[in-house]
Structure 1
Amino acid sequence: MNRRVLQRATFVATAAVRQPLRAAPRRRMATFEQRSHDRNQFGLLSPASFGILVLTGVGLYLYFEHKREEIRQKKIEMLKKQNTKFGKAAVGGPFNLITQNGVPFTEQDLLGKWSLVYFGFTNCPDICPDELDKMSTVVDTIDARNGPAVQPIFISCDPARDSNNAIREYLKDFHPRMVGLTGTYENVKATCKAYRVYFSTPPNVKPGDDYIVDHSIYFYLMDPNGEFVDAFGKDRDAAFVIARIEQAVKEHGEGKKNYVEL
């Protein structure tokens, strides 16, 4: 009996010592797994956190694009208030460029017709094609309503790449009546300055280089006297532009001079 009691006590004591030894690796493993989990939690974003980060980025992008458009709209409103002594906004003036067919074209060629003038470049990925499509819609709609023939004009602000041939090929996708203009850098710069158009190209560019031209995005409506009437940003749809042109044509026929007022 005493021997069995002694054996039992010895077994219990031995088991008590072995149990922590067997548990220790499990605790170490659990601790390692917990640390790995913690590192995964803090080292990598969860799907919810990643979604919030993406939404924040998109929100900031849209905010700054909105503010940029606000600045552009304020600039055009300032142009409308910068009147000359004749009461017209100081937009437009003498220029000397070349058409896509190599024919000289100046401000005198605007006389006797209504014109929509747009500044862009043929390598523009999306905005310029969209705006020229909108211009074509405006011109075709006014034609269909038996309004005055509106002359669509595209002026390149990327003379380093936009040769006569490049513009001629580019304009095949747009209105058949559209006139494309280019010229030397100095002549293009002077034309942009006359129309209060901002444009910027990277320094030291070459004809074969791949780059984007930052520029103002407006249609400029000019009356048959070659005078500025109004400007339309990319936020104005074709219906708005058509209505405004028809209003301006009516005012012009009545001899009114308040063209720049919306």
Structure 2
Amino acid sequence: MRQPRHWACGVYRRPLLALFGALLAALLLLPLAGLAAPGGGTVITPPRPIATLSLVDQQGAPITPSTLSGRWTVLFFGFTHCPDVCPTTLARLAGVQRQLPEALRPKVRFMLVSVDPMRDTPQRLAQYVGQFGQGFVGATAPLGELAPLLRELGVSYAYTAQPAGEHAGHGAHADHGTPAYTVTHSETLYVLDPQARLHAVFTDPKDDYALLRDLSAWANQP
């Protein structure tokens, strides 16, 4: 028995509509080509200079756009008392560093910028970042100098008091005379190019493959 005409049309129309929808979506996304790689970071075009970058590293040496020039820099904003997100993200970044081709490793640095400068002294940062690999940099600045950088990059953070005696984080302890608190913060990774300009943003720090792929491609450029 011949099937009703409208049923047959429905069967054959659906694949055509799906194909048309896919083509239309691809055309709409064409203007964004080159800005966002599939499963990767969002590239800033053109790269954006950072106006408020003034930090010190774990040795007390200044960090400015001029001191960062010549290498790619991956910035992660966190703190040493962080119980989970920060050590997990830094361990992932250490894995990415190990997987970079050996010739490219000197061209890429990984930096933890503390959002808890009241507790994260250069000495504490030195002990902390040293657990994740050679070449990891810890950076800090007084909150009044750090806040403009956080605003410029759109880093979200907030301080929350903790009940007395609550564990404060990875290898943490309540510092003498310092109220117990934690810091909630965004997990975004920021990639600076060798001119210390904002080149790309990774909103998913768990996408190790995409970060490794993109860093390898960028660092391999002449």
Q: TM-score range by the shorter chain?
A: 0.5 to 0.7
Question: CA separation in 1, counterparts of 2:66 and 2:132?
Answer: 24
> Structure 1 residue 115 and structure 2 residue 73: aligned?
yes
- Structure 1 residues 180, 233: CA separation in 2 closer, same or farther (over 3 Å shift)? same
1:29-57 per-residue CA deviation (whole Å, 9 max, x = no partner) reads xxxxxxxxxxxxxxxxxxxxxxxxxxxxx
Determine if contact 2:97/2:105 at 8 Å carries over to the other structure: no
Unpaired runs of 5+ in structure 2? Answer: 1-35, 162-174
Partner of 1:246: 216
Partner of 1:232: 202
What is the aligned counterpart of 1:147 among 104, 110, 135? 104
SS in structure 1 of the partner of residue 87 of structure 2: helix
Determine if contact 2:42/2:202 at 8 Å carries over to the other structure: no
Partner of 1:189: 147
SS in structure 2 of the partner of residue 173 of structure 1: coil
- Structure 1 residues 92, 166: CA separation in 2 closer, same or farther (over 3 Å shift)? same
The Cα of 1:101 is off from its aligned counterpart by 1.2
Determine if contact 1:111/1:224 at 8 Å carries over to the other structure: yes
SS in structure 2 of the partner of residue 135 of structure 1: helix
The Cα of 1:220 is off from its aligned counterpart by 1.1
Q: Which has the higher contact order (CA 8 A, sep 6+)?
A: 2
Question: CA separation in 2, counterparts of 1:80 and 1:138?
Answer: 18
SS in structure 1 of the partner of residue 180 of structure 2: coil
Report 1:53-202 matches (<5 A): 87-88=45-46, 90=48, 92-144=50-102, 146-149=103-106, 150-202=108-160
Determine if contact 1:91/1:196 at 8 Å carries over to the other structure: no
SS in structure 2 of the partner of residue 228 of structure 1: strand
Larger helix proportion of the pair: 1
**Letter in structure 1 aligned against 2:61:** V
Larger Rg: 1
Determine if contact 1:119/1:155 at 8 Å carries over to the other structure: yes
- Structure 1 residues 91, 137: CA separation in 2 closer, same or farther (over 3 Å shift)? farther
1:39-92 per-residue CA deviation (whole Å, 9 max, x = no partner) reads xxxxxxxxxxxxxxxxxxxxxxxxxxxxxxxxxxxxxx8x969x7xxx425573
Supply the RMSD in Å over aligned alpha carbons: 2.5
Percent identity over paired residues: 24
| Alignment size in residue pairs | 168
TM-score, length basis structure 2 = 0.67
**Letter in structure 2 aligned against 1:243:** R
**Letter in structure 2 aligned against 1:233:** T
Determine if contact 1:91/1:194 at 8 Å carries over to the other structure: no
**Letter in structure 2 aligned against 1:228:** L
The Cα of 1:208 is off from its aligned counterpart by 2.1
